[in-house]
Amino acid sequence: MSTFLPVLNEVEKKSIRERQPLPEAYLGLSEEEMSLRIEAAKAALGDRLVILGHHYQRDEVIKFADYTGDSFKLANAIAKHPAADYIVFCGVHFMAESADILAMPHQQIILPDLAAGCSMADMAPADQLEICWSELKQIGLASRVVPITYINSAASIKSLVGENGGTVCTSSNAAATLKWGWEQKEKILFLPDQHLGRNTAFKMGVPLDQMVVWDPNEPFGGLTREQLDAAKLIVWKGHCSVHVRFTAKQIEKVRAEHPGIKVIVHPEVPFDVVQAADDSGSTEYILKTVRDSAPGSKWAVATEVHLVHRLAEEVAPEKTVVSLDQFGCLCSTMFRVSPNHLLWVLDSLVDGDVVNEIVVPEEQKKWAKIALDRMLAIT
C-alpha cells in the first residue's frame, strides 16, 4: 500500500468538491478483502464494465484498471468498448467529464470519489474565459486568435473553446495541436497551463519574446495592446501544482549525487527545469524513453511519484530510476480515489445502482465534443 500522504496547498483545497461520505460498511476494510471483492464485482459485471486508470493513481487502485495511461490514451480507449454500459474513471473530475462527452449515449461515467478535482482546471473557470474572449473581441483581436485548451480543463471550458473554433490538446499531442492552431490563425490562446504552452512552443522554435502571460485577474490580462499584437502565443496564468514543485536546483543536486544520470521531465514543469533537463515529454513519452533505454541507464524523472515508483520497479535492476524530488511530488486530488471508493461504486453497480455519475449538460456537450473530436482528428 502507498505510504505517501497528500499535502494540500491552498489552490488544491479550493479544487476539492464536496465529498460524499462513504457508507460505514466500506470503512476499515483490509486491502486483501477489498481486492477480493473488487475482483468479484468486476467478474459479475463482465463486459458491461470498463475501468480506466490514470498513471497518477495510487498502486492499490491502478492494479484494477482495464486500461492505464495518460488522459489522451484513456480518452481513446473509450471508443474501444461501445457495448459497455459503465465506464469507471479512476482519475479526476475533468477526465470523467471528457469520458462522458466521448462516450456512447447509453454509457454511464462514474468517478469513484467526487472530491477528485484538479487545481489546474480550477484556475480557468468559464466566466473568466468568457471575460477574456470578450476583451479580445473588444480590442479587435479575437478574430486573429484560436483558443486551445489543455485536456486538464472543465467541460464548460472545452465547450467555449469548441464554439470559438478551437480544440483540446494533451501533453502527448500539444505540438501537433499548436501547429494546427497556427495554421488556422496567427495567434493562439493556450490555457490553463502556461508551462506546457510555453515549453511546447519554445521547443517548436517560437522565441520567448513572442509569448505573453494572460492574467485572468487583471483587466485585459494585465497586457497592453502592443504586447498582444506582438505575441504569437498567449498563455493563461495557470499551472499544475505537482509539476511546479520541480526545480533546476534539484537537477543540479541529482547530477552531483548520480554521475551520468539522465533527467527527463514532464512539460508541465517550469521553463528553466525543461532547459536544465536532458529530455521532456508526456507521461507516455517518459515511460517509452526509459523502457527503451540501454541497460545500465540511470534516470531522474520529474513527474507524479506513483508513476515514477512503478516505473522504477518495472525496469529494475537493469536500469535505475529515481524521482527528481526526493520527497516525492504526489497529486493529492488523484490520491483521493481509494480502493474503498472503487469497491463502493462497483458494489452499487452490481446491485443495480449508479452512484457518482458524471453527466455533462447537453448544451456544453455539443461544442466540447466538437473540440475533442478536432483533437482526435489532428492526432
DSSP for 174-240, please give it: HHHHHHHHHHH-SEEEEES-HHHHHHHHHHTT--GGGEEEE-TTSGGGG--HHHHHH-SEEEES---
Residue 111 CB-half CA count within 13 A: 26
Position 10 confidence tier, pLDDT thresholds 50, 70, 90: very low
Which of 40-44, 239-243, 307-311, 355-359 ranks highest by mean pLDDT? 40-44
d(CA 188, CA 178): 8
Tell the residue number behind the cell numbers 537493469, with chain if given.
318
d(CA 157, CA 222): 21
d(CA 91, CA 331): 11
The number of beta carbons lying within 10 Å of the beta carbon of residue 365 is: 19
Among 336, 343, 310, 362, smallest CA distance to 37 is for: 343
Q: What share of the chain is helix, strand, coil (3-state, %, to 5)?
A: 50, 15, 35
The pLDDT assigned to 93 comes to 87
The yes-or-no verdict on residue 360 having pLDDT over 70 is yes
The yes-or-no verdict on residue 76 having pLDDT over 80 is no
* CA angle (345, 348, 350) in 5-degree steps: 115
DSSP reduced 3-state for 303 = coil
Among 83, 8, 7, 38, smallest CA distance to 344 is for: 38
Position 379 confidence tier, pLDDT thresholds 50, 70, 90: low
The pLDDT assigned to 3 comes to 31
Contact between residue 84 and residue 100 where contact means Cβ atoms under 8 Å apart? no
For the 10-118+333-360 domain, the top CATH level (class) is alpha beta
Q: How, if at all, do strands 298-302 and 262-265 pair?
A: parallel
Q: Which CATH architecture has domain 124-238?
A: 3-Layer(aba) Sandwich (3.40)
The pLDDT assigned to 17 comes to 41
Position 21 confidence tier, pLDDT thresholds 50, 70, 90: confident
The pLDDT assigned to 39 comes to 98
Measured in whole angstroms, how far is the alpha carbon of residue 179 from the centre of its chain? 21
Total-model pTM = 0.84
Contact between residue 29 and residue 340 where contact means Cβ atoms under 8 Å apart? yes
Q: What DSSP character marks residue 30?
A: -
Phi, psi of 271 (to 5 degrees): -55, -45
DSSP reduced 3-state for 37 = helix
Among 74, 81, 70, smallest CA distance to 266 is for: 70
- Structure confidence by residue, pLDDT tens digits, 216-229: 999 999 999 999 99
DSSP reduced 3-state for 133 = helix
Phi, psi of 82 (to 5 degrees): -65, -20
State mean pLDDT over 268-273: 97
Q: 243-323: which CATH topology?
A: Rossmann fold (3.40.50)
- Structure confidence by residue, pLDDT tens digits, 37-62: 999 999 999 999 999 998 888 889 99
Domain borders along the chain are: 10-118+333-360, 124-238, 243-323
Share of the chain above pLDDT 70, in %: 92
As a whole number, the mean pLDDT across the chain is 90
Share of the chain above pLDDT 90, in %: 74
10-118+333-360 matches 243-323 in fold: yes
Position 1 confidence tier, pLDDT thresholds 50, 70, 90: very low
State mean pLDDT over 263-271: 97
d(CA 99, CA 94): 9
DSSP reduced 3-state for 42 = helix
